[in-house]
Amino acid sequence: MKHLIGVLVMAYGTPRRTEEIEPYYTHIRRGRPPEPHQLAELVSRYEAIGGVSPLTDNTEKQARGLEALLNQRQPDTRFRVYTGMKHAHPFIDETVNQMRDDCIERAVGIVLAPHYSAMSVGTYIAGAEEAAKQDGPAFSFVQSWHLEPAFLASTAARVRDALDQFPLGERQDVPVVFTAHSLPKRIEELGDPYAGQIRESAAAVTGLLGHSKWSCGWQSAGRTPEPWLGPDILELIRAIHDHGTNKLVVCPIGFVSDHLEVLYDLDIEAQALVKQLGMTLVRTKSPNDEPLFLQALADAVLRQI
């Protein structure tokens, strides 16, 4: 009989239909319903990308692809992959309870975010650990996987494809901007590795390509008085323009799926700005369930076993 190991794939979650947007937003705000104008703004963003985000479907495809790959690579073990969301059903605790009901005794948890922060990945892990206290599986967790060779190779290939859309003689001068979700700047004072890991991934990817012009920008800073990691991607685009460059590649390296922060923030908002400035922006494709990306997830999971 094959040894059974559960894998908990954790993601942010997203509404599946318009009527789920308000409870989703309320959950993000820790039970505080959004103001009408805040809700209207978020609904308008979802409408702009077609009504709903593909994040849930993509997460499920990633999980199924990971499950198939793990069972193929380690045939003496049976892997069962589950998905748990931070802000939507199935919530992480609901999925851990399901794993317990399915008699999963040993499990590996991995967050679909390559870079560790106590304020992001750390909260997913804490939620799973808390749920597992009540006779749940014995977990080990992937803390970060930002330097997994297959992840870097997958990202480099997609950056290369984006650079190839420019004339050959210009490519070496096209800046590549790597973006991720912003967090409060105080994490740096606390020794949190998040921003450093973003830069490590970016440096490793451009090192594979031999491309020296790169920088990091940030998305989705909170609307709070305290400073957040910057520069914001829109500010950075303006700065690149002011330095006399009218072409750039943007690689949302902190995100592993097409979703609102890619499809709206970059494909709509950032593209509107570059059009206004007379620039050209090429956004790298998202990994989604691309085989080399799934290999990176599998490698990270297998290191825990």
Domains of the chain: 3-145+290-302 (3.40.50.1400), 149-283 (3.40.50.1400)
What is the gyration radius of the CA atoms in the chain, in angstroms?
20
CA 225 to chain centroid = 25
* Residue 231 one-letter amino acid: P
Question: What local confidence, expressed as pLDDT, does residue 249 receive?
Answer: 98
Question: What local confidence, expressed as pLDDT, does residue 222 receive?
Answer: 86
Quote the pTM value. 0.96
In our burial notation (b when 16+ CB lie closer than 10 A, e otherwise), range 171-189 reads: beebbbbbbbbbbbeebee
Question: What local confidence, expressed as pLDDT, does residue 224 receive?
Answer: 85
> What does residue 101 show for φ and ψ, rounded to 5 degrees?
-65, -25
Rounded to a whole number of angstroms, the distance between the first and last alpha carbons of the chain is: 18
State how far the alpha carbon of 96 is from the alpha carbons of 8, 54, 128, 232, in Å: 8, 24, 7, 36
Question: What local confidence, expressed as pLDDT, does residue 287 receive?
Answer: 98
Give the three-class secondary structure for 249. strand
Treating both helix axes as pointing N-terminal to C-terminal, what angle do 92-101 and 121-132 enclose, rounded to 10 degrees?
Answer: 40
Q: How far apart are CA 303 and CA 305, in angstroms?
A: 6
Report, as ranges of residue numbers, the positions in the chain whose pLDDT lies below 70: 1
Residue 245 near residue 177 (C-beta atoms within 8 A): no
Question: What local confidence, expressed as pLDDT, does residue 223 receive?
Answer: 82
The DSSP 8-state label assigned to residue 137 in this structure reads: -
Treating both helix axes as pointing N-terminal to C-terminal, what angle do 149-163 and 194-209 enclose, rounded to 10 degrees?
Answer: 60
